[in-house]
Amino acid sequence: MIELQDGPLYKFSEWPNDQVPRLAAGVYTVWREDELLYAGMSGRAMKQEQLVATPGQARAAVGLWTRLKAHASGRRSGDQFSVYVCDRFVVPVLAPHQQAEIGHGRLSLDQLTRDYIHEHLGYRFLICRDGAEASEIERAVRAGSLKAGLPYLNPLKAKAAARID
């Protein structure tokens, strides 16, 4: 789990990342410099046997790759991370003229969110044996198991954290 705190930090601006497997369950953390902002996972329903790539058989990207790709896009539809980034970091600093441009359809909140993600955020990841392991690690990180403490955008509440074994 140390990789999620001290492993290589990849910039969203450099997506796609060939270090992220196209077929994997995993956990990731998102950082703004040294600040832990978010912890997430992908592949919740994936079993270990589903994660074996068959040589010569083309497969679509599944799991961690698709989740990080969605975050890198900045599109808020269907991506809670991008919604959090927009709400907490983009919207509060919008100038009145930008608000008017958004209202007239000449400026996109998705593009502003993508720009923020690319300019300020990076991620670390950990490949897991299956979705159950990824889910367990994500819960622990959201409950504060890393030395960085609780993630700013999606911490587990104290009551929920107390239920983790």
Give the pair of three-digit tokens for residue 154.
């999606």
pLDDT tens column, 46-78: 555 455 444 445 567 778 999 999 999 999 999
Q: Given a cut of 60, is residue 6 above it in pLDDT?
A: yes
Quote the DSSP letter at residue 154: S
66 close to 41: Cβ distance less than 8 angstroms: no
CA distance 115 to 103: 19
Phi-psi label, residue 27: left if phi above 0, alpha if psi -120 to 50, beta otherwise: beta
Looking at residue 138, its pLDDT comes to 97
- DSSP codes, 63-77: EHHHHHHHHHHT--T
- pTM equals 0.88
Give the pair of three-digit tokens for residue 138.
């994500």
Considering the chain, what percentage of its residues have pLDDT values greater than 90?
77
